[in-house]
Amino acid sequence: MSVVAQPFAARTRAAVSPLRRVLVDFPVRRPTVDEVVAADRPEEPIHCLRPDAVAATASDFVQSFPGDVLYAVKCNPDPAVLRALWDGGVQHFDCASLPEIRLVRAMLPEAAIHFMHPIKARGAIREAWARHAVRDFVLDSADELTKILAEIAATEVPGVPGLIVRIALPKGAAMLDLSGKFGAEAEAAADLLRAARGSARVLGVSFHVGSQCLDPLAWREALALTGRVIRAAGVKVDIIDVGGGFPVAYPDQEPPPLGACFAEIEAGFEALGLPDARLWAEPGRALVAAGTSVVVQVQARRGAALYVNDGVYGSLADAGTLGFRYPVRLIRPDRSSVAATTSFSLFGPTCDSADVMRGPFLLPADTAEGDWIEIGQLGAYGACLRTAFNGFDRARIVEVGDKPMRDRPTSLPDPLEVAA
């Protein structure tokens, strides 16, 4: 018997918003997280979205920042979050991929989309330009400049792009350093500005001081370097993009007020002497962190370790890999706890022993199997880093109307002492 080979059918998996949505057991909106837990007693994680809080935070940022605010979509691409940001006044979106561009354009037809990844596929450039009206592109090399111009010229849509040259910064003190992957060194950046000027509708310079940057002076120092690059290039620059990195509060981190960051940015921008240039920023965490919390259930307790149904392969990647300590609170619908708080570590549901979040997380000493824990400040990089590893990819999503968890920084024990 002969066997006829069948053509291979390739499959693709969308990952812009990989969280599997389970909404059938919930109304679209509940008043509080506690009511959600009391009604359903869930055995799967619940992502509690607060669109009103996201819109209010966005509105405050847009009104306070002296320029255009580009939301970094990678931070949280959930459609409800994007809509809330738009409602809060964010009209510009920093996209790093074609799926992000497609999502924003489909949801927000009037949005200004900026392709801010320094290295792009050729087809992505063509589609972004010709189908989605993306007109601004970041680059950090001569090869990328040539690629952008060639692919735009290959479309049937005439026009001249905006070109933004990303410069490299020295390693800084941000919690997540971003200096090692992208950015042209000062001399090369000046060369790129000169090369791009004649082909650009608008020409800009961008940088990124690192994620969760607690030092407002980092922006002033980066702007001083930007000024040196522009003077060396000797060409007109229309846009100064100060990137993201704007910090938020966590239990062990007390960030400066955003106003302090904005003041350093304004002072550094003014010192450049570019009265006709436009200022951009690319916030992510600062806009959406407080807008989502995740409710997990304790499935077992072993001493100071709580085994819960979400972990580093789910919403808590940063709690494991980066050691972020998130605000937590116990939810126990049937009775309250009067026990003093103590320090716990969390273990996720997968079979990987690396699925651990050391914390320490402060919870009542009588926390036990069957209890629920709300974990706050997960609107940034929570759902979007979720994977399907070990089959633990299901989570519920519900919108709630109560206030976000905003713990004030506290003095916490050293995690090594807790582990001991």
Picking from 386, 275, 345, 356, the residue whose alpha carbon sits closest to that of residue 13 is: 386
pLDDT at 17: 45
Q: How far apart are CA 257 and CA 89, in angstroms?
A: 21
Map tokens 């407002």 to a residue: 216
DSSP letter (8 states) at residue 176: B
- Contacts with 215 (C-beta within 8 Å, 6 or more apart), sequence order: 172, 173, 174, 256
Q: How far apart are CA 133 and CA 131, in angstroms?
A: 6
Query: How far is residue 279 CA from its own chain's centroid?
Result: 21
CA atoms in the 13 A half-sphere facing the CB of 185: 1
Residue 307 in contact with residue 301, Cβ under 8 Å?
A: yes
How many C-beta atoms lie closer than 10 Å to residue 408's C-beta? 8
Mean pLDDT, 10 residues at a time, the chain of 420 residues: 44 45 52 91 93 96 96 95 97 97 96 97 97 97 98 95 95 73 94 97 95 92 96 97 93 89 96 95 96 96 96 91 90 86 94 91 95 95 87 87 67 37
pTM comes to 0.88
Map tokens 């459609």 to a residue: 79
pLDDT at 410: 36
Q: Left (φ > 0), alpha (ψ -120 to 50) or beta: where does 60 sit? A: alpha
Q: What is the CA radius of gyration of the chain?
A: 23
Picking from 53, 20, 28, 51, the residue whose alpha carbon sits closest to that of residue 396 is: 20
Taking CA atoms, 30 is separated from 36, 76, 83, 335, 404, in Å, by 7, 21, 18, 21, 14
Query: How far is residue 39 CA from its own chain's centroid?
Result: 31
Picking from 318, 334, 338, the residue whose alpha carbon sits closest to that of residue 326 is: 318
Domains of the chain in start order, with CATH, are: 20-49+290-419 (2.40.37.10), 66-282 (3.20.20.10)
Q: Which amino acid is at 186?
A: A
